A and B are shown apart, each in its own frame.
Chain A
Amino acid sequence: MSKYIVNSSEEQQEMLDELGCASFAELFRKAGVLGAPQLSIPEGVTEFEAYRDMAALAAENHVFKHVFRGAGSYKHFIPSAVKNIVSRNEFVTAYTPYQAEVSQGILQGIFEYQSMMCELTGMDVSNASVYDGGTAAAEAVMMCVDRKHHKILLSRGINPEYRKVVHTYHQFSDSIEIEEFGTDFEVDSNTAGVFVQYPDFFGNIPDLVKIKEKAGDAKLVVIANPTALGLLEAPGKLGADIVVGEGQQLGMPMSFGGPYLGFMCAKEKLVRQLPGRIVGQTVDKDGKTCYTLTLQAREQHIRREKASSSICSNEALCAFTAAVYLAAVGPKGLYDVADTSFQLAHYLADRLNEIGLSVVNKGEFFNEFVTECPIDSKELMKHLYEKDILGGLLLSNNRILWCATEVNTKEEIDWLVDVIREVL
């Protein structure tokens, strides 16, 4: 038997007999199901064979030794303790913590996650996660709009992947209008929110204080890179009303795009607009501190079609991972990760500038930046791939978005520059 089915065929038959059914066919007939389709999926194989098959597929992917590409997915070092802790089966194989009595571990872990994300972003409240950075931005739109304010201004400095999601999410709304802006924007009495990315897609660090001044009464929504917040001032200190973003950087591998972690934090007054699960601290019948899912009156299972979001399952284990990662690296470690990424990116920018890939960014940047390329950048990339280097992301024929993190080294950058020189 196996196939993870416990009862032997004989036991199954005995159980069927007890139900007064001669066979599965009879059981299903009584349940109202007739006939069975012919499937073309092959018969099952042993775990040994399935593993070999999957490992062969994995081996058909190329793991680049040298990575200088970010653009929303980042290669960072993940401490072994983090991977070990989050693979505990008590966490991995649990459902959403509906039953608080046997879920205190998960609930407290998420409470700690919420606390750390609030600290990191400078916000008062956090939810327990949404699907990813793009959907976090899309959900934040719903937190801004109300009967009188339905216009959202999206900076073109926001990752195009996220902008696409925001547009898609709200394309069938009767009232929400989404406009993009380049360097400057104007709010009017309909403007509900101004969305910027910090640092932006091109690495630039926007002046949030100035943007907040211009935004006036419209909410300032900051899509933040949580790693950068180890070094950069918290958006909450600079006027943000809502801070959301992608949390993959906090302990999750790049893994071809998922699972990742959408985080959402806000000022206290917006707590009832936050979508998704939220964990709160309370006491039990004996007065003991405990944790439970709370403020559920916002959610789909209670509000049904009146809920602002339909999210049910989220990315709980990823949120848990982020919390373990933040505790493992601590404030100094997160600073080191951010500062080393910042330093190496600037070193890379200087070296590229030297050899004629001029840096386009005008102001200060974090760990990503854009260069002009004097030759066809596709050719350059091909050359780099041959040397096992995943170069920056091509933005156009002659523009490249580069990234460095703490996993890179100075020597690696020097060598990269030599390799580029070969084709200039």
Chain B
Amino acid sequence: MSEKVKIGVYVCHCGFNIAEMVDVKKVAEVLGKEEDVEVAKDFIFMCSDAGQKMIENDIKEKGINRVIVASCSPLLHEKTFQGVLERAGLNKFLFEHINIREQVSWVSKNKESATEKAIRLIRGGIAKIRKQQALEPILKKVTKSVAVIGGGVAGLISAKNLGEMGVDVTLIEKSPFIGGMVARWDKLFPNDENAQDIVRKLIEEVKDNKHIRILTNSQIVGGKGSLGGYSVTIETISRGIKRLPENIENILSSCPIEIDSPESFGLEKRKIVYKPEYICYPEEYAIDWDNLSDAKELEKYKKWVKESNLEEKFELEKTVTKEEINVGAIIFATGFEPYEPYEGEYGWKKHPNVVTLPQLIEILKRVDKNQTHFVYNGKEIKSVAFIHCVGSRQIEGEDIPGPDGKLNTYCSRYCCNATIHTANELKKLYPNLHVYEFYRDIRTYGLDDEDMYTKASKNDVIFLRFNNEYKPEVQILENEKYNFVISVKDQLSYYEEVDIPADMVVLSVGMVPPQIDDLVSIFTVSRGNDGFLLEAHPKLKPVETSSGIFLAGTAQGPMNASEAAAGATAAAVKVAAVVSKDELALSPFIARVDITKCDATGKCVEVCEYNAIEVTEVEVEKGKVERKAQVNPTLCVGGGTCVSACPNQAIRIVGWTNEQIEDMITAMIKEVKE
């Protein structure tokens, strides 16, 4: 026989915070008369030791077996009071928290109505808790290793932190080299740190750690499982070099296949067998199979290998190997890509001296630092104009959507800093160069960032402010002293139209999410409107997603390298907390099927985005097997899409059943009598 329900209701004053607007004594008095309520008490500070002790004693001495605390928000103290239940030996899920501060006393003007509202809400809680059952977290055995996807700074830092804690990590990088974007930069804002040194240090630490296994040219192509235990299929493509020829540079000079080098952001050509000039790992040549996907190009390559007698050295075709690994947690550190302007956007692709900021950084790496003049494409550059917010903060009706039909409405956050930093670098190298920045807002928000802006102003960098509606217009000049004239209605001089001559236009392009649709669908990770991966909650559950995947760095949105490092460290610490346990206690609030109602229509299977339900043979009674829907408790996230989809009302979220909520609603609307 089930035990008699004995509810304890505890109404908090929160000093005056609640008591000033809610007649807490009356609330306790009225609710003390409700069915099943054994005690109803008010207290000045329920979360104080004395308040907690009072509840604990009532559970132990009066046999209270359901507890309601009406106080501040559950976000503040739900765990505190669940702890009281646990200490008193009662299942912590036999607790209901009613918010009469943030959602009653602080938002009400009339004490009488506020008191009535509090009574109604607590009544709802009583109705709900009456049907509440003791619940146990779902226990899952944890696999004590981790997969980190992406070998940029974020992935490297996550892997390094985990490796240092003794956790086995597989670092999976899709390109042939780890290092990510930072490996391509020179000096980093705000303090001119050497990007190459930073990445080199990280690479050293990661490759020397015996707990870290680095897989390059590798991608995850399949996976199943959930937090605590995944099995992941990795596909690795061969580097293509069997034995490196000694005179490789000479040999490559005869290679007929050249492409615009992605490593230089298209500024230079490179051969199909290559190694970046910047810091990377492994420091070994690789064949760029991606750019040999065209059959004709592949034939051309094979012909060259054969004719040059290189078959002993280079593979003719890539070999693909697959392996399956088991991990307890996965970190996405898949980074970002720079925005690609559309043809004609501020003169892009219409003139070689319209370059992007990543390209300018690349150009400056190559200039002869002893020269006093800035020379590019054989001509002295006397004036450089940067245009901010290219591909960021786009506005409907004013900007052209990208190929996916979407506008990038977000701020890319790094580019004001990177632009101003680069402008200062230009002024340092070439004090006589004229430098202009066309900006919408200056967002130099971080520590030391504002100093760069001040320095730029002192360096005579000229700032002109535009409104997105009146974007600067880049006009290309033929056979004139300057290559361009840029016209803008400058907000800083009361929208006066200003014409600026320039030899180079630099587009400060934003960050866009990389193409990772496959990964996202394998692991059912949510994405925000901006296309970047979405945290479950920015304040309460940062760097983790609702599906149990962790996020590091710019995979979750634009950020600078320090922020990416901070996010990566946070993700590593959270993941370490998971894999350090033998078992994981998962939320018990998941879907449960009532097999007596289920007729195996499978509607629930159709709507579940997490593949957590399947229709399968179930023993309904001894010796009798029928097809019924079954929930995989480790995959279910408890969102409840299946609940309303079931035509037979056979699925409920445990702890939040529709019947409990209907009871709440009935109780809340009931007349309030004293």
Same complex: no
Binding site for A on B (CB under 8 A): none
